Amino acid sequence: MDTNTFIKQSINQHVHEAGKNIHDTSAAYIDYLLKSVLEPISNAINKQQIITWMANNFGLNISDSLQVEMKNKEMDIINTFLQRGNFTSEEEEKVGNLLLQDPKDIIFDYLIKQIIKSTVRTIKVNTFLPWDIRTSIGNDQLLSNLLNLPPADIRQVTLPVNVSIDREYVLDMTEEFTCGLLLYSDVAHISFRTRGIRMFGADFYSSYMAGNNRFTHNTRKTYSVKVANRVYNFNTIEFMQGFATGALWSGTNHRDYWSDLIDYSNDPAGVKVEF
């Protein structure tokens, strides 16, 4: 199994076991992070290089535990081929490749499991977005150090988003700015050219905002706005800035698409405001 397929299956397995869902852009973000940090061992020519890397980055306890798992997997591979008796030089090469690839896959799987566990512990939503993954990594000391991502407030975290306007741009956006932009795209039927909005190579379709999501079920809200007879709840004004930016890019008036912007920050009953 190639690395891309393995990572995808591992992510889906651990998310399923946690009883959660993961957005395509989040899976792509995890893939991007892992391939970046594990680049030093991607071209390892022997198992010892991988073990040394683990000891330097994971510490002895985790490294020793993963080595036991690697040893068991190694014996399974060898026994499977030995039971077949004689095998060709091509099959010998296949065994050698498996014995070198499996330790890498075990490391991938371990890190994916830790990322999902940290996200479940930190973020109380059903479907994880990339900003959830980034924030959760910052709250886990091992992951934070390994991926060089310090603790951060999810309301302020920005990640690169590809947007096609007159050409494709890569802009750093917060979660709420991006989702405000997506909501405008959905309600105004604007796709921002053919490629739309993408993150880490995965499409972020505006249909996400049309379904049930964190903005339609957010009870710890600071603001709310009515768009197309539906109320969206959010925590920073970035959401409206993203919505208004979408209108600016497409040459329309954002106020034609929303009503009843309510601020709850100083009054639990809410105060109607302008934007």
Q: Of all helices (H) and strands (E), which one includes residue 99?
A: helix 89-122
Q: Is 238 within 8 Å of 180 (Cβ atoms)?
A: yes
Between 56 and 95, the more confident residue is 56
Average pLDDT, the chain: 86
The string of pLDDT tens digits covering residues 235-246 is 999 999 999 999
More confident residue, 49 or 222: 222
The pLDDT score that the predictor gives to residue 120 is 95
Of 9-18, 65-74, 184-193, 252-261, least confident by mean pLDDT is 65-74
Phi-psi label, residue 189: left if phi above 0, alpha if psi -120 to 50, beta otherwise = left
- The tokens for 42 are 């991607």
Residue 256's identity, in one-letter code, is D
Token code pair at residue 32: 């991007």
Check residue 201 and give its pLDDT: 93
pTM, entire model? 0.86
DSSP calls for 32-79 = HHHHHHTHHHHT-SSHHHHHHHHHHHH-HHHHHHHHHHHHHHHHHHHH
Which H or E element spans position 141?
helix 141-147
Q: What angle do CA 91, 75, 13 make, to 5 degrees?
A: 90
Residue found by looking up tokens 């890397």 in the block: 53
Who's near 116: CB < 8 A, 6+ residues apart? 11, 14, 15, 18, 20
* DSSP category for residue 197: E
96-139 pLDDT per residue, tens: 555 556 777 888 888 999 999 999 999 988 999 999 999 999 99
pLDDT one-digit tens code per residue, 144-197: 988 999 999 999 999 999 998 878 889 999 999 999 999 999 999 887 755 578
Round to whole Å and give the CA distance between 254 and 242: 10
Q: Where are the domains of the chain?
A: 3-147, 160-272
C-alpha angle 95/1/149, rounded to 5°?
Answer: 115
* Spacing of C-alpha 216 from chain mean position: 21
CATH number for 3-147: choose from 1.20.140.10, 1.10.20.10, 1.10.1370.30, 3.40.50.2000. 1.10.20.10
pLDDT at 202: 94
- For 249, other C-beta atoms within 10 Å of its C-beta total 17
CB atoms within 10 A of CB 250: 16
* The two structure tokens encoding residue 237: 């004004």
- What is the CA angle 31-164-33, rounded to 5? 15
Contact yes or no for 214/237 (Cβ under 8 A): no
pLDDT value at residue 65: 77
